[in-house]
């Protein structure tokens, strides 16, 4: 994932938008990550993956699956984003 300082992102906003169409870009302030910019396609894929996961979790819970009680924590969010990264369109 490409990284840019906040100043660089501000001064090269058009470049940031072009890079974000290819892959997510991390924006850093004082050397620390503060934001990620990614394409609308990637965003839509992420939202779709979250919705699919929620539908599956609800279906398992309704079916009485004890494993359906999965906490929505950082590890799960990372897994969802990894799944999206694998399926998101790449330009």
**Any idea how long the chain is?**
91
Global pTM reads: 0.62
Give 59-80 as a DSSP string: HHHHTT-GGG-----HHHHHHH
Torsion, CA 32, CA 18, CA 45, CA 25, rounded to 10: -10
pLDDT in the model for residue 28: 97
Alpha-carbon distance of 26 to 36, in angstroms, equals: 4
Interval 20-63: pLDDT, tens: 999 999 999 999 999 999 999 999 998 888 888 888 877 777 77
Total number of domains constituting the chain? 2
Which of 6-10, 18-22, 53-57, 62-66 is predicted least confidently?
A: 62-66
Spatial contact of 82 and 48, defined as CB atoms under 8 Å apart? no
User: Do 18 and 44 fall into the same domain?
Assistant: no
Which CATH number characterizes residue 13's domain? 3.40.1620.10
User: Do 33 and 45 fall into the same domain?
Assistant: no
pLDDT in the model for residue 70: 62
The residue segments making up the domain with residue 23 are 2-37
Spatial contact of 16 and 1, defined as CB atoms under 8 Å apart? no
User: Do 21 and 50 fall into the same domain?
Assistant: no
């Amino acid at each position: 994932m490409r990284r840019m300082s906040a100043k660089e992102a501000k001064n090269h906003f058009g470049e940031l938008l072009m890079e974000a169409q290819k892959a997510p870009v991390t924006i850093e302030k004082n050397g620390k990550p503060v934001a990620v910019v990614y394409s609308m396609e990637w965003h839509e894929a992420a939202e779709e993956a979250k919705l699919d996961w929620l539908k599956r979790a609800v279906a398992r819970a309704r079916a009485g699956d004890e494993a359906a009680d999965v906490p929505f924590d950082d590890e799960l969010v990372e897994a969802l984003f990894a799944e999206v990264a694998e399926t998101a369109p790449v330009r």
